[in-house]
Homo-oligomer: A and B are copies of this chain.
Amino acid sequence: MNGFENGYYKEITPNGYGICIKAKEVLFSKQSPFQKVEVIDTDSTLGKILTLDDLMMVTEGDEFHYHEMIAHIPMMHHKAPKSVLIIGGGDGGTIREVLKHKTVERVVLCEIDGLVIEASKKFFPTVACELDNPKVEILVQDAIEYIKNKKDEFDIVLIDSTDPMGPGEGLFTEEFYTNVKNSLKKGGIMAAQSESPFANPEEIRKMYVLLKKVFPITATYTSNMPTYPGGYWAWAFCSEDVKPLSYFAEDRYEDIKKSCKMYNREYHNARFALPEYLKKALGY
């Protein structure tokens, strides 16, 4: 059974393997209208962890692996991103990274579950640290509704969602992706978390079939994510007019790099090189 039990937090994928963390106590556990939100204090270098329906979302120790990749890879492909939409991401980690780009004037966070924001502000101050930044508009609402009929509004849309089950399910549809595409300005880019290449090959394959129907340019990029299944994560890079590695924001680079633990230019360039099994699965 997944969750906290007998001194361990355990999370086993349907493949029969997963992560195990020595844990001390449940600091927070509440059922929202959407999911069970828990914060567990671990007895590990990962520090506190946030789980949704007993699935790992954030650990203090390794969250930078995920947040730097979802934010800076697309952001550094844009000359001057001013308006950014984050869908999900109520923990605030993606906002923190996005706001490192001095060009940004407005970030909309559309998170369906206010309880995630509440728990993150209380227990993850190093992640949630920019949620109250005046450039941030927090909308506690369903992004599926929010995104409908948006036109030419965002330079960057980041889909920092849960898995394609539960409240995140409607974020993995052709209609939703089409609405995201329409919400982008010229030169705009969508990046979306796209599951574990090794542990969820079928989920990731289905997702890219839809993305390719909607966006003329799609790619995937990957990076290590220690506490997610397989220790390996993928993000979709989608646009109408921006190809991967076609532009790099030299002017912002030093500023971004010095604030990052993962991100640098060589690492950025290397993200789009995929292992052979993943290229085949996604048809690249």
Contacts and interface: CB of A to CB of B under 8 A. Distances in A.
Contact of A261 (B18, B228, B275): B275
Nearest to A275: B262
A144 interface: no
A75 B244 CA distance: 30
| Integer count of this chain's copies in the complex | 2
Contacts of A275: 223-224, 261-264, 267
A262 to B, nearest CB: 4
Contacts of A276: 257, 260-264, 267
Place the interface of chain A in its size category: 35 or more
A209 interface: no
A15 interface: yes
A62 interface: yes
Given A44-B16, A264-B276, A224 B224 contact: yes
8 contacts: A16-B21, A16-B22, A17-B20, A62-B198, A224-B231, A224-B275, A267-B274, A269-B273
Q: Which 5 A-B pairs have the closest CB atoms?
A: A231-B231, A16-B44, A270-B270, A270-B273, A20-B20
